[in-house]
């Protein structure tokens, strides 16, 4: 494999894409819509040898595709699951994705999958541990790994660095790339009572290969990352800021529950073009007088995060 840094520089600027969901399969094949690319949830296809796999192959013949995983568990202390990695590599060899991504998280323990994207303690010890695992995964897959910032609802008291700093150091140690989920930035910062624009100011945009947009559910005292509705205005505002700091990163809309018809998803995705050209608006910080109290008792606020896009009948 080429050095990850070199490989990142060679990755394409894909444009505007949409998450590949089974409710849209027929419309995509029938209409061949004007979408630049599709992102497929790896786990929905890696064990299928029937219609879902055939659909993905057909889509990959007409569009660039990216594989996005939710079960790599790169932050776990369990041994890396090379059976999982072998299935992922076979799928990647078959559909030839532009890249393979997953999340900075852990998803279970002792071989049991929680089906949640769980946060890490952001410490030097964690950094060394995750970096070694990223290097091994990249060597096995023979391609750079692209990692996403997850939505979080609690933070570890032992964390010694902010997430952007952790990701920056991880990239420097491994050559991996980043998937910046703008919705996750807003969700995590609101839940923690911090400023999402401070987060962006510290983020290593030079490593960003891809961006995600999605909707969320605002519950008053907290936000849940649900992907079940349109992108919120405050997230669009953050996207306008973030887009100006990338070098044309591929941008994708995720919609994983209460999914509307394909044309409605395409209309929502098309809004991104306007924000790519927009002058960023004033700062959109979450209210600081509410933030610290919301999670002053972390054990009282554990909201499970659904695995992005995983469907049993894909």
pTM over 0.75: yes
* Tokens 């992102």 sit on residue: 39
> Under DSSP, is residue 182 helix (H, G, I), strand (E, B) or coil?
helix
How far, CA to CA in Å, does 204 sit from each of 19, 76, 114, 176? 25, 24, 30, 12
Q: What is the mean pLDDT of each run of 10 residues along the chain (314 residues)?
A: 72 97 97 98 93 96 98 96 97 98 90 81 98 98 97 93 98 98 98 96 98 97 96 97 95 97 98 88 51 34 39 40
CA distance 124 to 117: 21
State the burial class of residue 110 (Cβ atoms within 10 Å of its Cβ: 0-12, 13-18, 19+).
exposed
Spacing of C-alpha 183 from chain mean position: 10
Domains, in order of start, for the chain: 4-9+26-300 (3.20.20.150)
Query: For residue 211, what are the β-bridge partners?
Result: 180, 251
pLDDT at 109: 81
Q: Are 101 and 210 within 8 A, CB to CB?
A: yes
Q: Which long-range contacts (CB under 8 A, 24 or more apart) does 275-279 make?
A: 275/236, 275/239, 275/240, 275/243, 276/240, 276/243, 276/251, 278/240, 279/240
The pLDDT of residue 310 is 47
Q: Which residues of 14-36 are buried (b: 16+ CB within 10 A; e: fewer)?
A: bebbbbbbeebbeebeeeeeebb
Q: Mind giving me the DSSP string for 143-154?
A: S-EEEEPPP-S-
Contact 311, 21 (CB under 8 A): yes
Distances (CA, A) of 41 to 51, 85, 120, 174, 233: 15, 14, 22, 24, 26
127, 173 contact by CB (below 8 A): yes
Bridge partners (DSSP) listed for residue 179: 148, 210
Question: What DSSP state is assigned to residue 80?
Answer: P
* Gap between the Cα atoms of 204 and 217, Å rounded: 27
């Amino acid at each position: 494999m080429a050095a990850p840094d070199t490989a990142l520089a060679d990755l394409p600027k894909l444009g505007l894409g949409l998450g590949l969901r089974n409710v849209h399969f027929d419309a995509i094949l029938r209409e061949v819509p004007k979408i630049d690319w599709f992102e497929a949830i790896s786990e929905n296809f890696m064990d299928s040898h029937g219609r879902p796999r055939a659909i993905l192959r057909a889509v990959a013949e007409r569009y660039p595709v990216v594989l996005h995983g939710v079960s790599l568990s790169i932050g776990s202390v369990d041994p890396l699951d090379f059976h999982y990695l072998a299935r992922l590599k076979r799928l990647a060899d078959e559909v030839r994705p532009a890249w393979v991504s997953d999340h900075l998280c852990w998803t279970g323990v002792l071989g049991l999958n929680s089906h949640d994207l769980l946060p890490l303690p952001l410490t030097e010890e964690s950094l060394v541990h995750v970096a070694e695992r990223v290097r091994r995964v990249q060597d096995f897959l023979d391609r750079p790994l692209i990692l996403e910032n997850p939505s979080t609802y609690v933070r570890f008291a032992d964390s010694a660095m902010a997430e952007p700093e952790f990701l920056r150091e991880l990239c420097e140690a491994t050559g991996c790339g980043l998937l910046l989920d703008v919705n996750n930035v807003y969700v995590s910062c609101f839940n923690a009572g911090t400023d999402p624009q401070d987060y962006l100011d510290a983020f290593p945009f030079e490593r960003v290969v891809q961006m995600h947009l999605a909707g969320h559910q605002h519950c008053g005292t907290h936000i849940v990352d649900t992907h079940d509705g349109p992108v919120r205005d405050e997230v669009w505002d953050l996207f306008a800021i973030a887009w100006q700091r990338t070098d044309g990163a591929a941008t994708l809309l995720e919609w994983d529950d209460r999914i509307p018809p394909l044309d409605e998803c395409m209309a929502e995705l098309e809004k991104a073009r306007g924000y790519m050209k927009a002058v960023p608006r004033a700062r959109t910080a979450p209210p600081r007088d509410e933030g610290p109290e919301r999670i002053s008792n972390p054990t009282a606020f554990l909201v499970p995060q659904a695995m992005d896009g995983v469907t049993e009948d894909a």
